[in-house]
Structure 1
């Protein structure tokens, strides 16, 4: 309620407001000064956490929005395709890395004692199970680190690991702060990201900022953000995941300069967002 009251206040003041609060405030439907932030289009997939009724109402609400901000062109295209929205009503603004992350190259003094790292919540769409199956095809023992909080599948993941009879060692970490996560990226030889669906993919950008090689799903959004930096695979095929992991380890480790982090710099993102919004309001 208080968020709606605040939005009415800003509307009356003539301010431009970006909010990701759902359900959408009625102010969003009558003002072109109000933007709805939509992180992804998961509501159109089977990976959302909403009931059928909630998904129906959310789609109806989004379809009537005047202005939207989203975090990738892939998500924008999905909103245009699924809801019939105009591209001109949607501003794309990437997520960014903090200066601390993007300015640090991996240190040669740090031991690379983690072969594979996967930073993702424990839920179905993150596809941990196929990654565990894929590792059965790799004969070399590997140190594997999963980082994330439980969103419903951690027990299944632990059970799958226990029954895999694998030669690999696994660690499942939770409650990892930013400093610890940065340390884990710098100690990792490869980030593997087998997710079935993403609106962005922040851990991939974070890993790339440290020069960590990446093997990931062949999702359009990953190709949009990372271009040819990763080794891509089909996330539903454990053998193909294993193929990409093997190829990544057989490839010379890339230098951090191979990946252009400038578009994920917060200062660049802020300037561009303000420019796009101002241009959008004049149109």
Structure 2
């Protein structure tokens, strides 16, 4: 088959820990594999997700000398240039000079909140992103808010950007009810550790809520970062705050299902996958009052000002004292699963890809 009709998927995401960005890449890849397109996955040598590489039948290109951005800008660029294939990249970065490509830009946090990132990160992304956006045929992003930011910050026409929402993994569709192994009441938050996740304010607020018998479970790669010199500054963790890492998918479902409340205090997001995970398991949510959450979740959650400790406290107290009914939670679950699923998003990408491939026929 003519390599010009191939879709090459930049699988550098298999060398990275799985956060929301990598989850998007994995699940969209799985959906695209169900199509009739001729898809080729390529990655550098330093793959850490071996099972996924086998599932996607990944071809390793390069001798291992180049990794990360250098692999993307040199090895991957030369590979697709020689084959003249269509390139699809899911995780914000891609070869800057290749024009026969499609890229997902999840958000512009590096630009909106530069203080959250190292100087080197800001320089790299500040150099890459404008060129990638300019040279790509089409940009995918995960919300209308992110689309609006890309349009305004990079002077891109609306038609060049397609919204492809995040969704939840297949493990969340298991037809069973888990048992609370911990036999205790708790509030849950789930996320990677990053200043935007706002753990500092959440912990301050948690210490002021009315219910002093409930615990706070923090799931994510955050444990090593909770120190007196880091995110929570000089605040002491007490025995009501449980830090969890290395949580399996089954245990994560258990934590979601049995939580009294899910709290997500982010200051900025492109989407917010943990919120739809919680809603899909009929867990009520208290979340930040930021534009993207209003867009995506409307009246299906309780909102608070993430920069106000008292607002977070009031929202948590109200939700704990006024829990939603089972019927309300089932209704929210149905609406969320109907709107946000990987098939819907992959169909948008497929339509755009097929339109491009037809130009070569």
**TM-score for the superposition, normalised by structure 1:** 0.84
Match among 206, 209, 228 for residue 299 of structure 2: 228
Tell me how far 1:211 sits from its aligned partner.
0.7
Separation in 2, partners of 1:61, 1:74: 21
Match among 270, 276, 282 for residue 205 of structure 1: 276
Separation in 1, partners of 2:303, 2:222: 26
Separation in 2, partners of 1:226, 1:278: 31
Please tell me whether residue 35 in structure 1 is matched to residue 102 in structure 2.
Answer: yes
Secondary structure in 2 matching 1:172: strand
Q: Deviations over 1:207-245 (max 9, x none)?
A: 111011000101111122211111001000000001111
Separation in 2, partners of 1:151, 1:72: 30
Please tell me whether residue 255 in structure 1 is matched to residue 255 in structure 2.
Answer: no
- Report if the CA contact (8 A) 1:71-1:199 is conserved: yes
Secondary structure in 2 matching 1:146: strand
Alignment of 1:160-239 (within 5 A): 160=234, 162=236, 169-239=240-310
Q: Relative to structure 1, is the Cα distance of residues 9 and 108 closer, same or farther in structure 2, using a 3 angstrom cutoff?
A: closer
Point out where structure 1 has 5 or more consecutive residues left out of the alignment: none
Tell me how far 1:269 sits from its aligned partner.
2.5
Q: CA RMSD in A?
A: 2.9
- Report if the CA contact (8 A) 2:263-2:286 is conserved: yes
Separation in 2, partners of 1:130, 1:245: 13
Separation in 1, partners of 2:157, 2:358: 15
Please tell me whether residue 17 in structure 1 is matched to residue 91 in structure 2.
Answer: no
Number of residues of Structure 1 aligned to a counterpart in Structure 2: 276
**TM-score for the superposition, normalised by structure 2:** 0.67
Please tell me whether residue 274 in structure 1 is matched to residue 350 in structure 2.
Answer: yes
Separation in 1, partners of 2:172, 2:146: 25
Greater alpha carbon shift after TM alignment, 17-26 vs 64-73: 17-26
Higher RCO (C-alpha under 8 Å, 6+ residues apart): 1
Question: Which residue number corresponds to residue 125 of structure 1?
Answer: 196
Question: Which residue number corresponds to residue 26 of structure 2?
Answer: none
- Report if the CA contact (8 A) 1:63-1:84 is conserved: no
